[in-house]
Amino acid sequence: MISFVNAKINIGLYVTGRRADGYHDLSTVFYPIGKLSGSPESPWPFSDILEITPLDAESHEFSFTGTPIACPPEKNLVVKAVDAFEKAYTGHTGNKLPRFDIRLDKHIPDGAGLGGGSADASFTLKMLNGLMGNIFSDSEMIRLAASLGADCPFFIINRPCAAAGVGEILRSIDLDLSGKWLVILKPSFGISTKEAFSGIDCRHLSESRCPVSAETLLLESWRDSILNDFEPHLFYNHPVLKRIKSSLYDSGAIYAQMSGSGSAVYGIFDDESAASKAYLNGKSSEGTYSAIMKL
C-alpha cells in the first residue's frame, strides 16, 4: 500500500491559554495542501511518499529516504505511530500485529509549520488501520493520533477544519480555496516548538481572542483580521521571515502569513502570473526555498 502524504497550512493561530499539563490551548484553521503532488517546477514535490507492505520477519523494518530527518529512529513519528497502533491493536484484539516493511520518502521540510511529521504519523495509522480491516473508528483514530502530537488528529480528517484545544478539537468547516494559487517560501532554517512558545507571554492570553473565523470572512479581509501570535517574536528573532511576508504582499498576495510556528511563510494569490513572480523572486532571495501549487 502506498500513500502520498500531504501537508497543511495554518490560517491564523491564536494561543488562548496555558493548560495544567504544560501544553497551550490554541485556535486555528487547518487547510490541507498538496494532496496529490506539488508543481513539477517546485524543488519540493509537495508530498511525502509512504509505503507499507506485509513482511515475513520477527520485527518491523523501517527505511527513510529523501530529505534527512533530524532525529534518531526511535523518536521518528512514523516509528512512534507503528508502536502506538500495535499497542492499541493488541489491546483491542488480543492478537499480535503482523510485521510490516515501512518506507518513507521524505520531501515536506521539517521545522516549517507545515505538519509533515504529523502527517506521516497519521497516514501511518490510517494505512495500518486499513491493512487490518479498519478495526478502529475515526473517533478512535483521532484519539490515537492525539497521543502522538497536536497536529496529528487533523490529518486523520484531512479536510479544512477549525481547531481548538491543543489541536485535537476539530470542526469541519466550509472553506474552499480551490482555484487560488499558493506560494510557500521557507528559509534554510527551521523553528523548534520550544523556540516558538518561548516568546509567548501567558499572562496576557485571553480566550476572547478566538476563534479564527476564516470560513465567515471574505479572503480579502483576512490580512487585517486573522493573525498569527507567533509572528511578532519570531519575526524579531528572524527578520528574514518578516521580509519574506512583505515580499509576498509586494508581489500581489491577497493574504500572507507564517504557517503555524514557522518557518515557512505562504501567500495566497488570485492568479498564476502573480504567484509565479513571487515564486521566482523567492527562489533567488536570501537562501529561500520556494514552492508553488494550485489549490
- Chain segment 31-80, per-residue pLDDT in tens: 999 865 444 455 455 789 999 999 999 999 999 999 887 777 778 999 99
163 by Cβ neighbours in 10 Å (0-12 / 13-18 / 19+) ranks as: buried
pLDDT in tens, 215-226: 777 899 999 889
Q: Helix or strand or coil: residue 52?
A: strand
Where are the domains positioned within the chain? 2-172, 181-294
Higher pLDDT: 262 or 260? It is 260
Enumerate helices (H) and strands (E) in the chain, giving the number of each: 9, 12
User: Angle 17-184-47 (CA atoms, 0-180°, nearest 5)?
Assistant: 95
CA 89, CA 172: separation in Å to the nearest integer? 28
CA 63, CA 156: separation in Å to the nearest integer? 23
Q: 124-162: buried (b, 16+ CB within 10 Å) or exposed (e) per residue?
A: bbbbbbebbeeebeeeebbebbbebbbbbbbbbbbebbb
Task: Please give the single-letter amino acid code of residue 3.
Answer: S
pTM of the model as a whole: 0.91
| Per-chain mean pLDDT for the chain | 89
| Active centre residues (catalytic) | 8, 151
- Would you say 211 and 162 are in contact if contact means Cβ atoms under 8 Å apart? yes
| Of 4, 9, 6, residue with least CA distance to 182 | 9
Residue 240 predicted with pLDDT over 80: yes
CA 44, CA 292: separation in Å to the nearest integer? 9
- Would you say 257 and 145 are in contact if contact means Cβ atoms under 8 Å apart? no
CA 122, CA 118: separation in Å to the nearest integer? 6
- pLDDT of 282 reads 83
pLDDT in tens, 98-138: 999 999 999 898 889 999 999 999 999 999 999 999 999 99
**CATH number, domain 181-294, options 3.30.70.890, 3.10.20.30, 1.10.10.10, 2.140.10.10:** 3.30.70.890
Higher pLDDT: 283 or 151? It is 151
**Average pLDDT of span 23-28:** 84
**Average pLDDT of span 163-185:** 92
pLDDT tier for residue 211 given thresholds of 50, 70 and 90: low
CA 92, CA 283: separation in Å to the nearest integer? 50
- pLDDT of 216 reads 73
Class in CATH terms, 2-172 = alpha beta
CA 229, CA 262: separation in Å to the nearest integer? 11
- pLDDT of 45 reads 58
**Average pLDDT of span 192-196:** 87
Higher pLDDT: 282 or 10? It is 10
